Structure 1
Amino acid sequence: MTMDHSHHGSGWSAAVSATLHCLTGCAIGEVLGMVIGTALGWHNGATVVLSIALAFLFGYALTASTVLRAGDTLARAAKVALAVDTLSIITMEVVDNGVILAIPGAMDAGLGSLLFWGSLALSLAIAFVLTVPVNRWLLARGKGHTAMHAYH
């Protein structure tokens, strides 16, 4: 008998749910970072660093806010967020930024360009697809979003 570690269901559906949670925080930070860096005319490297930093900030903040709303401490919220989201966010950010950097001209296209927005959307979609198996692996081992059960 296998043990279901998820309140969302078992197997792949739980991994998709966990990845959608991760994608929400990552996308907010990623898009905000890309928009700020591009609008300010920053070098691609600085824009990517800002995007990654904001993706982690928003990703962790979404999880931590759930823990805080449940009445737990800030220290516990930070610990849970780090345990739940780190590998998922790393995977998503490596894939997402790798894809957008691999598309010729995407980073330099400008905020009014379909190439910029299309590349950003494509990179997030690919990152989502490639992060689902990571979250499936974590959930199968009782890690990742399984730590969130007490807060839902």
Structure 2
Amino acid sequence: MVVHNPNNWHWIDKNCLPWSKDYLKENIIDTAYEDDSFRFVVTAVDSVSGDCDVTQRKGKVLCIYDMRLQFSLSGAIKKGNDEEEEETISATIVIPEFVHDQGEDEYIFEIESASQKSEIRKHFVPILKEKLMKFQPDLLEAHAKDVQHATD
């Protein structure tokens, strides 16, 4: 496709939602936390919905996303050295608004679980948040070249 866009001046958008789903499955599944008392691991990316675009306007590449994310989490409460003594935990983590212009401390993590919500929030959410903070730079790195063309 040939695009006449002198100096990358005009809007160009690329829908990156399919890439986002693949990225989250690749980078979030198997995210884990373990200590002497607990083990938590993401087992599935249940849902990724919303918008995720990389755009270019007036020579600047930007990403704009507003997505709802849902992950399945499994884990255990350790009650000794034997795995048979562990109590199984399952949970769902929902991020109702994963947005491009939010600060790290503004994300809301809704945890649905019969038990250990506070332990999941205290120990696991910081690890998950750290991985999610890499999304925006990785998105731009993967797609910036698709919305700009050489001006030489």
Shared topology, TM-score over 0.5?
no
Q: Which has the higher helix share?
A: 1
Q: Which has the higher strand share?
A: 2
- Which has the larger Rg? 2
TM-score, normalising length: structure 2: 0.31
